[in-house]
Structure 1
Amino acid sequence: MSGGRTAALDDRVLPAWLRLLLTCAWLALAGCGPSPPLAPLTAGSSVLAFGDSITFGTGAAPGDDYPARLAAISGWQVHNAGIPGETADEARGRIGAAIAEARPALVIVESGGNDFLRRRPEAAVKEDLRAIVAAIRASGAQVVLLAVPKFSLLGAATGRLPDSPIYAELAKEEKLPLIAGVLAETLSDPRLKADPVHPNGDGYRKLADGVAEQLRRAGLLKKP
């Protein structure tokens, strides 16, 4: 009997449950290996900050928004494409035009807060974000998600606003860098807020510092 025949016979005599377990383990190892390190963007690179009023800078003076502060930290040319009041499904419709205008090497996506306030299903918000990610990738740019907290009465009362789980889920599914916890931590501190849902100038400074630090960890921003 040939070696190939013996191998086939041995595979058949394995219990079905064991074959399934081995197959699943192989697929998990194949899909979950360490991602290659990302190359830092050079000074002057075009970066698109895409989002809603948090990206726009509502609650702070002009120039105190987080994209402007990130530009000062990184040396990148950061385009502020934030629109107050915008939902993720609306953002989905304009991502193409924003990319065409900025021609970015990297897009930082912050969206979903207005959807949560309007009680849109989180599953629908997640799919809007997935479509935005797909459009960015199709352009050749890299994409990073900035997690947004889901506001609740309990969170407001306790001063602790956790990230909505859809961001970590989507980042894992799409193998994306995730900026986690920074916005939630900022909005959990009354001293850093202009109103219940927007940072003040100090809050945007903290947000920009946190975004920069996590971009360094992801390999996209050089360490100082």
Structure 2
Amino acid sequence: MLFRLLLVFKTVLLSLSFLHFVAWSSPVFAENAKIMVYGDSLSAAYGIPQQQGWASLLQKKLNAERYQYQVINTSISGETTSGGVSRIQQALNQTKPNIVIIELGANDGLRGLPIQDMTANLNIMIEQSKKSGAKILLVGMRIPPNYGPQYTKRFSQSYLKLSQEHNVPLVPFMLENIAAKANLIQDDGLHPNAIAQPLVLDNIWPHLKQLLKK
């Protein structure tokens, strides 16, 4: 009788040990990681249906290539870097992203705002995103030459400088091969149309892919 009890006890211990091993060795299937797109009208699908915007196309591409990410687009048309700084922490707290795509500065440039202020604001957004544990992709912009060669040069170089200082990947120019083509721009002369959105994504994807995990 005692022998049988000891045998049962040993069997239970082995079973519990096995369950303990399974619990610690089995992968944990959590919810999808998140990519927060943090930009202005260029990312908010201004003037076109939301589902045609590059951020929506990004979600489709991620799904097609079996990347387990959810794209959350928090972009606001007309946003400046000053506005971005004012809401970045709340957006990070609510979204809890694994990756943040920062696409801001175009409206600062179009309004001729001080480049040092824009750079300082982008710097804060990068630092706060890093502090939250997220990886960052910085999206660069350029402005028309009529703002003067010195201003336009300093404007585009500010993105490169931030990328190097923070060691984060940079999309050199979001609208590369798009901005100068009338058939790809809306009637306002500023925003890419629906036809151009896949091209915008093509400019962003190679740099974003460096940060993705399957």
| Partner residue in 2 for 1:220 | 211
**Partners of 1:128 and 1:162 in 2: how far apart?**
15
Q: Which runs of 5+ in 1 are unaligned?
A: 1-41, 156-160
Q: Is the 8 A contact 1:150 1:162 kept in 2?
A: no
- Which one has the largest radius of gyration? 2
2:85 to 92, 97, 104: 92
| Partner residue in 1 for 2:58 | 70
Task: Give the deviation of 1:43 after TM superposition.
Answer: 9.5
* Per-residue CA distance 1:95-139 (angstroms, 9 max, x = gap): 111111211100000001111111101121011000000110111
Give the number of equivalent residue pairs.
Answer: 175
Please give the TM-score of this superposition, normalised by the length of structure 1.
0.72
Q: Is the 8 A contact 1:110 1:147 kept in 2?
A: yes
- 2:49 is paired with a residue whose SS is coil
- 1:119 is paired with a residue whose SS is coil
**Partners of 2:190 and 2:124 in 1: how far apart?**
25
Do structure 1's residue 172 and structure 2's residue 160 form an aligned pair? no
Q: Is the 8 A contact 2:115 2:155 kept in 1?
A: no
Task: Give the deviation of 1:53 after TM superposition.
Answer: 0.6
Which amino acid in the other structure matches residue 120 of structure 1? L
Q: Is the 8 A contact 1:147 1:163 kept in 2?
A: no
- 1:95 is paired with a residue whose SS is helix
**Partners of 2:208 and 2:91 in 1: how far apart?**
21
| Partner residue in 1 for 2:140 | 147
**Partners of 1:163 and 1:70 in 2: how far apart?**
27
Task: Give the deviation of 1:198 after TM superposition.
Answer: 0.6
Task: Map 1:50-129; keep pairs closer than 5 Å.
Answer: 50-75=38-63, 76-129=69-122
Q: Is the 8 A contact 2:135 2:211 kept in 1?
A: no
* Per-residue CA distance 1:15-50 (angstroms, 9 max, x = gap): xxxxxxxxxxxxxxxxxxxxxxxxxxx993210000
Task: Give the deviation of 1:162 after TM superposition.
Answer: 11
Structure 1 segments, 4+ long, off by >6 Å, are none
Identity across the alignment (%): 28
- 1:164 is paired with a residue whose SS is helix
**Partners of 1:183 and 1:189 in 2: how far apart?**
10
Q: Which runs of 5+ in 2 are unaligned?
A: 1-29, 64-68
Which amino acid in the other structure matches residue 127 of structure 1? A
Task: Give the deviation of 1:84 after TM superposition.
Answer: 0.7
* Per-residue CA distance 1:141-160 (angstroms, 9 max, x = gap): 111100011233389xxxxx
**Partners of 1:43 and 1:147 in 2: how far apart?**
30
- 2:102 is paired with a residue whose SS is strand
1:187 to 172, 176, 179: 179
RMSD: 2.4
Task: Give the deviation of 1:59 after TM superposition.
Answer: 2.6
- 1:63 is paired with a residue whose SS is helix
Task: Give the deviation of 1:179 after TM superposition.
Answer: 1.1
Please give the TM-score of this superposition, normalised by the length of structure 2.
0.75
